[in-house]
Structure 1
Amino acid sequence: MMQTKALEDVTVLDFSHLLQGPFATQLLADMGANVLKVERPGAGDLFRSITFRNKWLGETRESPSFLAWNRNKRSLAIDLKAPEARDILYRIAADVDVVVQNFRPGVMERMGFGYEDFRKINPRIIYCSGSGYGTSGPYLSRPGQDMLIQGLTGLAAATGRGDGPPVPVGSGFADQVGAMNMVYGILTALYWRERSGKGQNVEVNLMSGLLAHQGQEMLMAMNFNEDFQRPNSGIGHPGMDAPFGVYPTRDGYVTVAMSPFRTLVGVLGDDSLLEYDDPERLFTERDAIWNRIAALTMEWNRQDLIEAMLAVDIWCGEVKTHLEAAADPQVRHLGAITHYDHPTAGRVKVVGPAVKLSETPAAIDRPAPLVGEHTAEILAEYGFDDAAIADLRARGVTG
């Protein structure tokens, strides 16, 4: 029978926690992969205990941070330090396609769950590790957290106003880039395995990923031996000239991207600005130009200015909050916002899968799991009988 989901014959043994690894395995799960999320009995993934602004969902206080990255998975609660854990997980690993983990380098190997351990059991296994800085080097013992990586790779230093401090991106950008790279590596390895029959080790680190996603900025800095300097105005990129940037209006902000300066001046109605219409001045005097333009945009309502700029093909857009973005007509048209029903948190609004496939579409079939919700179900699938499952739970090996 034809597969209804592209990855429905792929099983992932998922040891990951927090954001990078769980987002990667959620992306695979959305495409149909059978993701078995290994968690600590009782406590589960550390993200279950972390939230923003001390806000929780439902009477059982479910973490929005956990619910965001763990749909379409089943939870297998098992104490990795218990002697029986190896036997259980080795039995499962004999039949899985992919292992994902983002513990600090060396942790999984010390517990007997490294690539070499699983490869002995299953030579076709694809083992994907995510870390902050790779598996060796002077930063090996450093914590590999998202904002720290943004600072170390130049992203924060290139963001914000020149007369203020560096500004990290307002999202877990390094982790999410890392998740995409994990999926990229896993799918590449799966494709190669179809031809070679062999598994392999896939390593992803946040530092390399964020450097790669700043490819043009890094190339400019290294080849001209000159760092970008952040402007004091709202120019949206340290390497761009005016009018590129964010501008205030009476009731909000608008963005203007690469657009003919003369055309924008025509919309704003102040021909004295044309003295700056020179490529060199548009860069070297961009702060002064921004201030002149901002004084004019402040005389407009946001929507009126957007409509006037779009009418002459200026690249522009509204600056929207998250709630405004969720209500955006194009976002609604795309069906980008959806929901799932969680057994304790109730109806949870979420961002749906971003990739559309015509023959094997992604779908949300399961909410994020409760800790150990599927332990008995998963163990039964791998040959453990009811008595063995009950015994493991009674002794605290599983939850």
Structure 2
Amino acid sequence: MTPMALEGIRVLDFSHLLQGPFATQLMADMGADVIKIERPGKGDLFRSLTFRNKWVGGDQSPNFLAWNRNKRSMALNLKSAEAREVIMKMAETADVVIQNFRPGVMAKMGLGYEDFKKVNPRIVYCSGSGYGVDGPYQTRPGQDMLVQGLTGVMAATGQADQPPTPVGAGFSDQIGAMNMIYGIMTALLWRERSGEGQEVSVNLLAGMLAHQNQEMVTAMNFGEDFERPSSGIGHPGMDAPFGTYPTRDGWITIAMSPFATLIDVLDAPELKVYDDPKTLYDKRDEIWRELARRTGEWHRDTLLEALLAADIWCGEVKTHLEAAEDPQVAHLGLIQSYQHPTAGEVKVVGPAVGMSATPPKISRPAPLVGEHTREVLREAGYDAETIERWLKDGTAGEPENK
């Protein structure tokens, strides 16, 4: 068996929706034993949310399936004193705890960092929130689109004559997940050196601002906000030709490229009057329209071939389904699948990180609620009689059809 980099690392995962589950899936892909602790019966809220009211296999949310492979599910009623006893017993041998409840919720249940630290001083406890643990926004809901609006990315996206535009994916949450992993891995390395665990705190607000640092530095140091273009220019701070352009049968992107070379390919020498750095910014919308008129006369593949031959930075604009069929995506083996107990074959995007000695892999489907409750309780040392009693009285749970 090929070794995995995080084998032997046990994660108690109390997180839900996207931020925390994506972080723990990244660890699970690398071999960590992630035990997802969910509400009996209902489980993670993402189990009941889906796009376009479509369910994989008729009953599984694609949103949940996307972020929960390679994990085991244990269903526990966290309000039960006996459930807390189980968790603290498991904490004795755990390495990481992840949670993204609102600030203070876990501590009120006796499941805060200080509670875990008393049982296991080596524990790394990671909390994710919308806006941090205190301050004027403490009671606000911390949701992806709301944070995009608060941090400038929405006001900088889209065209000037349209409403501020959210990114078409859970960008804030996914940045938050990456920051969780960054903090956890750093804390685990520190633990190897010092023998001490610690608390890691991540919030969506800080993450989104940090990942827009070039835009923030520009705006703050010049005292000027970006102005969105009214055309297909791809960034509020960029000049022409940077942006998206139409063709006869689709759209292409053109990034930072010599304007003179571009108009030579398009056979538009009359546009040389724009070839000046200040003009390329000041008249970027006008220039975009002139360029778009000319790119619109080409078939997409023919234009791309001509632009690439001239070393113009360009590419196709593809839908999600087209991206899944992309030849480079196929070459990298990025689209994979697994067998789910009720949904059947589930197509997924595989791990994005390569490891020469300890490659990640998909070894488990996203679990059913409480699918591994008995298994995990047995591993924790509880006898069959106790487990049956807890399943009957609601302290623990397992799938209804099991």
The TM-score by the shorter chain falls in which range?
A: over 0.9
CA distance in 2, matches of 1:294, 1:9: 56
- Match of residue 400 from structure 2: none
Residue 139 of structure 2 corresponds to residue 141 of structure 1: yes
Which residue identity does 1:259 align to in structure 2?
Answer: S
Which residue identity does 2:3 align to in structure 1?
Answer: T
What SS does the corresponding residue of 1:149 show, helix, strand or coil? helix
Alignment of 1:118-133 (within 5 A): 118-133=116-131
Deviations 1:282-338 (A, max 9, x none): 000000000000000110011111000000000000000000000000000011110
- Match of residue 76 from structure 1: 74
Q: 1:267 aligns with which of 265, 268, 285?
A: 265
- Match of residue 40 from structure 2: 41
- Match of residue 342 from structure 1: 340
CA distance in 1, matches of 2:374, 2:292: 62
CA distance in 2, matches of 1:3, 1:327: 29
Residue 162 of structure 2 corresponds to residue 164 of structure 1: yes
Residue 27 of structure 2 corresponds to residue 28 of structure 1: yes
CA apart distance, 1:9: 1.0
- Match of residue 183 from structure 1: 181
Which residue identity does 1:363 align to in structure 2?
Answer: K
Deviations 1:140-170 (A, max 9, x none): 0000000000000000000000111110000
Which residue identity does 2:231 align to in structure 1?
Answer: S
Alignment of 1:320-331 (within 5 A): 320-331=318-329
CA distance in 2, matches of 1:86, 1:72: 24
CA apart distance, 1:82: 1.2
CA distance in 2, matches of 1:270, 1:359: 52
4+ long deviations beyond 4 Å = none
What SS does the corresponding residue of 1:203 show, helix, strand or coil? strand
- Match of residue 290 from structure 1: 288
- Match of residue 365 from structure 1: 363
CA distance in 1, matches of 2:240, 2:163: 22
Give the % identical residues: 68
Q: 1:3 to 1:348 in 2, by over 3 A?
A: closer
Which residue identity does 1:105 align to in structure 2?
Answer: P
Q: 1:242 aligns with which of 232, 240, 243?
A: 240
What SS does the corresponding residue of 1:378 show, helix, strand or coil? helix
- Match of residue 61 from structure 2: 63
CA apart distance, 1:20: 0.1
- Match of residue 92 from structure 1: 90
Q: 1:382 aligns with which of 355, 360, 380?
A: 380
CA distance in 1, matches of 2:33, 2:81: 26
TM normalised by structure 1 equals 0.99
CA distance in 2, matches of 1:78, 1:373: 12
- Match of residue 199 from structure 1: 197
CA apart distance, 1:3: 7.2
CA distance in 2, matches of 1:141, 1:302: 50
CA distance in 2, matches of 1:225, 1:350: 44
Deviations 1:41-62 (A, max 9, x none): 0000000000000000124x11
Q: 2:277 aligns with which of 257, 265, 279?
A: 279
For structure 2, list consecutive stretches of 5 or more residues without a partner in the other structure. Answer: 398-402
Deviations 1:158-205 (A, max 9, x none): 000011111000000000000000001000000000000000000000
CA distance in 2, matches of 1:3, 1:230: 50
CA distance in 2, matches of 1:62, 1:279: 53
CA apart distance, 1:86: 1.1
What SS does the corresponding residue of 1:184 show, helix, strand or coil? helix
Which residue identity does 1:315 align to in structure 2?
Answer: W
CA distance in 2, matches of 1:258, 1:296: 18
TM normalised by structure 2 equals 0.98
CA apart distance, 1:270: 1.1
What SS does the corresponding residue of 1:246 show, helix, strand or coil? strand
CA distance in 1, matches of 2:209, 2:241: 27
Residue 104 of structure 2 corresponds to residue 109 of structure 1: no
CA distance in 2, matches of 1:338, 1:297: 36
- Match of residue 226 from structure 1: 224
- Match of residue 397 from structure 1: 395
CA distance in 2, matches of 1:372, 1:217: 44
Q: 1:313 aligns with which of 307, 311, 314?
A: 311
Residue 12 of structure 2 corresponds to residue 13 of structure 1: yes
Which residue identity does 1:46 align to in structure 2?
Answer: L
CA distance in 1, matches of 2:61, 2:32: 24
